[in-house]
Chains A and B, each alone.
Chain A
Amino acid sequence: MKKTIFAISLVALLAAAPTMAQVDLSNYVALGDNMTAGFASASMMDWYQDRSYPAVLARQAGVDDFEQPYISEPGIGPIFELVSLAPVPVIQPVGLLPGLPTNAEYPDIYNNLGIPTATLYDMIFQTGDITNLLQGNFDTVFFDIVLRNGINTALEQAIGMQPSFMTVWIGSNDVLPAVLAGTPIDGVTMTPVEFFGGLYGNAVGALATNTTADIVLINVPYVTDVPFVTSVDPFVDIPGLGRWYLMADTGPLTDDDFVTLGGGALIALGYGLPGGPPLPDNMNLFTGDPGVVLRAAEVDLINVQVDGYNAAIDQTASAFGYPVFDVNALFADLASGAYVPMYGGTTLSTQFLLGGIFSYDGIHPQHIGYALMADELIQFINAEYGSEIPRVDMAEVLFEGDWQSPVVSPAKAKETIMSAEAFQQLYELFPPKLDQAPRIRRPSADRPEFSGRDLRRKPESQP
Chain B
Amino acid sequence: MIAKNRGRALLVAAMVLVAPALGWGSGFALFEVGGRQAGMAGTMVAVGDDLSTLFWNPAGAAFQTDEGFQVLFGATLLWPEQSIYGSSPYPGEVYQADQVKQTFFPPHIFVGIPVNDRLEVSFAFYAPFGLGTEWEDDFFGNYVSKKSDLMVFDLGVSMAYQLSENFAFGIGVDYMVATIELTKNIGLINPYDQRLTDVAEATLKGEGINSDWAWNAGILWKMGGGFSFGASYRSEFTINGSGKASFTQIPTGYADFDGLLGTFFPFDGKVPIEATIAFPDFWNVGLSWQNEKWTVSGQYGVMGWSVYESLPIIFPENPEFSSVRVENWEDAPQYRVGVEFRATQHWDLRIGYLVDETPQPAWGMSPLLADGDREAYMGGLSYHTDRFRFDIAYEHVDLETRSTEGQSPDGFDGTYEGQSPLLHMSITLKF
Give the interface SS of chain B, mostly helix, strand, loop or mixed.
Answer: loop
Q: Contact mask B2-16 → A, CB, 8 Å, 1/0?
A: 111110111011010
User: CB within 8 Å of B: which of A380-409?
Assistant: 390-396, 398-402, 405-406
Give the interface SS of chain A, mostly helix, strand, loop or mixed.
Answer: loop
Binding stretch for chain A, among B283-291, B356-364, B382-390, B405-413: B405-413
Q: Do A233 and B93 touch (CB < 8 A)? A: no
B200 CB to nearest chain A CB (Å): 12
Q: Do A267 and B1 touch (CB < 8 A)? A: yes
| In the complex with contacts A85-B256, A346-B187, A399-B195 CB distance below 8 A | yes
CB neighbours (8 Å) of A82 from chain B are 191-192
B329 CB to nearest chain A CB (Å): 20
Q: Do A347 and B90 touch (CB < 8 A)? A: no
A-B contact pairs, 9 of them (CB 8 A): A82-B192, A232-B1, A345-B412, A354-B191, A355-B9, A355-B189, A356-B189, A395-B92, A410-B256
Q: Does A157 contact B (CB under 8 A)?
A: no
Q: Do A351 and B5 touch (CB < 8 A)? A: yes
Q: Does A352 contact B (CB under 8 A)?
A: yes
| In the complex with contacts A343-B90, A353-B191, A354-B191, A230-B9 CB distance below 8 A | no
Q: Considering the complex, give the chain A residue whose CB is closest to the CB of B413.
A: A344
Q: Do A394 and B189 touch (CB < 8 A)? A: no
| In the complex with contacts A342-B411, A393-B89, A86-B10 CB distance below 8 A | no
Q: Do B92 and A347 touch (CB < 8 A)? A: no
Q: Does A236 contact B (CB under 8 A)?
A: yes
Q: Do A86 and B260 touch (CB < 8 A)? A: yes
A251 CB to nearest chain B CB (Å): 21
Q: Does A341 contact B (CB under 8 A)?
A: yes
User: CB within 8 Å of A: which of B78-97?
Assistant: 86, 88-95
A267 CB to nearest chain B CB (Å): 7
Q: Does A417 contact B (CB under 8 A)?
A: yes
CB neighbours (8 Å) of B411 from chain A are 341-346
Q: Do B144 and A392 touch (CB < 8 A)? A: no
Q: Do B194 and A337 touch (CB < 8 A)? A: no
Contacts A345-B410, A352-B2, A367-B194 supplied; 19 other A-B pairs, CB < 8 Å:
A230-B4, A342-B410, A344-B142, A345-B187, A345-B411, A346-B187, A346-B188, A346-B196, A348-B189, A351-B9, A354-B6, A354-B189, A368-B194, A393-B88, A393-B92, A394-B89, A395-B140, A396-B92, A406-B193
Q: Does A46 contact B (CB under 8 A)?
A: no
CB neighbours (8 Å) of A355 from chain B are 5, 9, 189
A54 CB to nearest chain B CB (Å): 18
Tell me, in angstroms, the Cα distance from A337 to B13 when the chains sit together: 13
Q: Do A349 and B12 touch (CB < 8 A)? A: yes
B407 CB to nearest chain A CB (Å): 12
B252 CB to nearest chain A CB (Å): 11
Which residues of B come within 8 Å of A, CB atoms? 1-6, 8-10, 12-13, 15, 86, 88-95, 140-144, 184, 187-189, 191-196, 254, 256-257, 259-260, 409-412
A111 CB to nearest chain B CB (Å): 23
Q: Considering the complex, give the chain B residue whose CB is closest to the CB of A398.
A: B196
| In the complex with contacts A344-B140, A344-B143, A402-B3 CB distance below 8 A | no
CB neighbours (8 Å) of A345 from chain B are 15, 141-144, 184, 187, 410-412
CB neighbours (8 Å) of B88 from chain A are 375, 390-394
Q: Considering the complex, give the chain A residue whose CB is closest to the CB of B87.
A: A391
Q: For B3, B140, B195, B259, which residue has the most chain A Cβ atoms within 10 angstroms?
A: B3
Q: Which residue of the partner chain, among B4, B15, B192, contacts A233 with CB atoms under 8 Å?
A: B4
Q: Considering the complex, give the chain A residue whose CB is closest to the CB of B89.
A: A394
Q: Considering the complex, give the chain B residue whose CB is closest to the CB of A368.
A: B194
Tell me, in angstroms, the Cα distance from A82 to B256 when the chains sit together: 12
| In the complex with contacts A85-B191, A354-B191, A417-B2 CB distance below 8 A | yes
Q: Do A236 and B1 touch (CB < 8 A)? A: yes
B133 CB to nearest chain A CB (Å): 14
Tell me, in angstroms, the Cα distance from A396 to B13 when the chains sit together: 19
Q: Which residue of the partner chain, among A86, A351, A353, A398, contacts B259 with CB atoms under 8 Å?
A: A86
Tell me, in angstroms, the Cα distance from A410 to B256 when the chains sit together: 10
Q: For A88, A367, A395, A405, which residue has the most chain B Cβ atoms within 10 angstroms?
A: A395
Q: Do A375 and B2 touch (CB < 8 A)? A: no
Tell me, in angstroms, the Cα distance from A342 to B366 when the chains sit together: 13
CB neighbours (8 Å) of A401 from chain B are 193-195
Tell me, in angstroms, the Cα distance from A400 to B92 when the chains sit together: 13
| In the complex with contacts A347-B12, A402-B195, A395-B91 CB distance below 8 A | yes
Tell me, in angstroms, the Cα distance from A75 to B92 when the chains sit together: 30
Q: Contact mask A70-98 → B, CB, 8 Å, 1/0?
A: 00000000000010111111000000000
Q: Does A310 contact B (CB under 8 A)?
A: no
Q: Which residue of the partner chain, among A236, A343, A406, contacts B192 with CB atoms under 8 Å?
A: A406
User: CB within 8 Å of B: which of A396-447?
Assistant: 396, 398-402, 405-406, 410, 417
Q: Do A349 and B191 touch (CB < 8 A)? A: no
Q: Do B1 and A417 touch (CB < 8 A)? A: yes
Q: Considering the complex, give the chain A residue whose CB is closest to the CB of B253.
A: A405
CB neighbours (8 Å) of B92 from chain A are 393-396
Q: Do B94 and A393 touch (CB < 8 A)? A: yes
